[in-house]
């Protein structure tokens, strides 16, 4: 493709300025600030700071609470990704096979993606509330069995379900597009070769979905690291006893509740590096390797 070249002009600069300003104010400036704070000791009430080198990182990486946060983040990332991709794939296969009512839920399945994370958390707050809603009936039979403010694993399950619910839509759209791009004659050829629908799915559709699958794997894991704050904040507040203290939530809690700006900044930098690494893997390896011509 031919590239268009433009000479510098004031109109072009003026048109670019708002976007550049937004990116600068909300990304580069805070990132630079975080980078600076990560290497200094910032006073909680303002009034000067001290250069401490890698001390903040050393402290973060030797903090057992940080490692438990890493552990729960990894559990959350894997569980939401598996759940979301599994659900999305199942729904996409139903829609692709045009089972009854597919037109209605093809649209319905996409909607959750438009819901903001805190709203998702609030909605599930009602769903998982031990005193009202579905689980109150279980608690009526077995008193105290369900309470996400006391049982850590129930709290993790709750944020996983809420997070996955939000992710399903995105993966669904991609899976459906990929399934519908498989030529019909391939399915027909397999039918002529004697393969039944389930066999065709295993031998034909799933292998041909591999590129999409890897793409969604990385996207979902990345999203679960960065986009989970709203859900955790509204649903569990990181508790009980730090059981749902995901990396991104811990940054907020340490920084704005514990006033440990420097520690939070160091954690931000680590999380940013992790996401950059995942994105790099995405573009460098997966996009190139797994595709068929």
Partner 1 sequence: MAEISIRKVSKTFGKTTVLGGVDLDIFNGEFVVILGPSGCGKSTLLRLIAGLEEISAGEIAIAGVVVNALEPRERGCAMVFQNYALYPHMTVAQNIGYALKVAGVARAERQARVEATAKSVGLTEYLDRKPGQLSGGQRQRVAMARAIIREPRVFLFDEPLSNLDAKLRVQMRHEIRRIHNRIGATSVFVTHDQHEGMTLADRLVVMNKGSIEQVGTPAEVHDRPASVYVAGFIGSPAMNFLPGQISLVRRGVLLENGTLIPLAQMPVLEDGHLVQLGIRPEHARLTPRGRGVIEAQVDMIEDLGAQRLCNLMFEDMPFCVLIEARPPLPAGTPVGLDIPAEHIHLFDAASERRIEIALPLPVAAPAEALTG
Per-residue mark of binding to partner 1, 188-207 (x: CB under 8 A): xxxxxxxxx--x---xx--x
3-state SS class at 98: coil
Applying CB under 8 A, the site for partner 1 has a residue count of 20
Nearest approach in angstroms of CB 190 to partner 1 is 7
* Phi (first) and psi of residue 42, to 5 degrees: -95, 135
Three-state DSSP class for residue 51: strand
DSSP characters over 34-50: HHHHHTEEE-TT-S-EE
CB of 96 to partner 1, least distance (A): 17
Question: Is residue 183 a contact residue for partner 1 (CB under 8 A)?
Answer: yes
The single residue listed with the structure tokens 């791009």 is 181
Interface residues for partner 1 in 119-138 (CB under 8 A)?
none
Smallest distance from the beta carbon of 87 to partner 1, in angstroms? 24
Q: 50 phi and psi, to 5 degrees?
A: -125, 135
Of 186, 273, 276, 277, the residue at the interface with partner 1 (CB under 8 A) is 186
| 3-state SS track over 194-207 | CCCHHHHHHHHHHH
The CA-CA-CA angle for residues 102, 157, 236, to 5°, reads 115
Q: Rounded to the nearest whole angstrom, what is the least distance from the CB of residue 189 to partner 1 in the complex?
A: 4
Q: Does 17 bind partner 1 (CB under 8 A)?
A: no
For partner 1, the binding residue among 52, 78, 127, 208 (CB under 8 A) is 208
Residues 204 and 182 sit within 8 Å (Cβ to Cβ): yes
Instruction: Pick the closer one to partner 1 by CB: 61 or 195.
Output: 195
- In sequence order, the β-bridge partners of residue 51 are 40
Q: How far is the CB of 288 from partner 1 (least distance, A)?
A: 15
User: How far, in Å, CA of 262 to CA of 153, rounded?
Assistant: 31
**Does the CA dihedral 260-261-266-271 come out positive or negative?**
positive
Taking the complex as a whole, the smallest distance from the CB of residue 210 to partner 1 amounts, in Å, to 8
Nearer to partner 1 by Cβ, of 5 and 289: the residue is 289
Decide: is 61 part of the binding site for partner 1 (CB under 8 A).
Answer: no
**Minimum Å distance from CB 8 to partner 1?**
44
Q: Which of 6, 8, 111, 292 binds partner 1 (CB under 8 A)?
A: 292
| Binding span for partner 1 by CB under 8 A among 104-112, 149-157, 186-194, 223-231 | 186-194
Long-range contacts of 80-83 (CB under 8 A, 24+ apart): 80/160, 80/163, 80/164, 80/167, 80/220, 80/224, 80/228, 81/167, 81/217, 81/220, 81/221, 81/224, 83/160, 83/161, 83/164
Closest distance to partner 1 from the beta carbon of 293 (Å): 4
Nearer to partner 1, 3 or 196 (CB): 196
Q: Residue 266 class from Cβ within 10 Å (0-12 exposed, 13-18 middle, 19+ buried)?
A: buried
Identity of the residue, 77 or 89, whose beta carbon is nearer to partner 1 in the bound complex:
89
Nearer to partner 1 by C-beta: 58 or 97?
Answer: 97
- Where on the chain is the footprint of partner 1 (CB under 8 A)? 183, 185-186, 188-196, 199, 203-204, 207-208, 210, 292-293
């Amino acid at each position: 493709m031919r590239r268009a070249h433009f000479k510098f002009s004031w109109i072009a600069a003026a048109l670019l300025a708002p976007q550049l300003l937004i990116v600068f104010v909300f990304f580069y400036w805070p990132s630079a600030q975080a980078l600076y704070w990560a290497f200094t000791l910032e006073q909680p009430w303002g009034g000067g700071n001290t250069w401490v080198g890698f001390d903040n990182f050393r402290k973060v990486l030797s903090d057992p609470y940080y490692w438990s946060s890493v552990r729960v983040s990894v559990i959350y990332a894997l569980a939401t990704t598996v759940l979301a991709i599994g659900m999305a794939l199942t729904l996409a296969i139903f829609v692709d096979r045009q089972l009854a009512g597919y037109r209605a839920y093809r649209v319905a399945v996409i909607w959750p993606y438009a819901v903001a994370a805190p709203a998702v958390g609030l909605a599930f707050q009602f769903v998982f509330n031990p005193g009202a809603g579905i689980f109150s009936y279980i608690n009526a039979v077995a008193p105290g069995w369900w309470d996400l403010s006391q049982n850590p694993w129930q709290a993790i399950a709750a944020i996983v379900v809420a997070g996955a619910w939000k992710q399903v839509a995105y993966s669904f759209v991609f899976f459906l597009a990929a399934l519908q791009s498989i030529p019909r004659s391939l399915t027909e050829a397999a039918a002529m070769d004697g393969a039944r629908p389930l066999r065709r799915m295993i031998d034909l559709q799933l292998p041909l979905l591999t590129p999409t699958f890897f793409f969604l794997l990385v996207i979902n894991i990345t999203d679960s690291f960065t986009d989970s704050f709203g859900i955790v904040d509204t649903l569990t507040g990181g508790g009980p006893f730090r059981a749902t203290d995901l990396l991104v939530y811990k940054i907020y809690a340490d920084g704005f509740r514990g006033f440990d700006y420097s520690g939070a900044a160091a954690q931000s930098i680590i999380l940013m590096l992790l996401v950059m690494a995942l994105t790099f893997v995405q573009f460098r390896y997966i996009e190139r390797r797994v595709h068929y011509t």
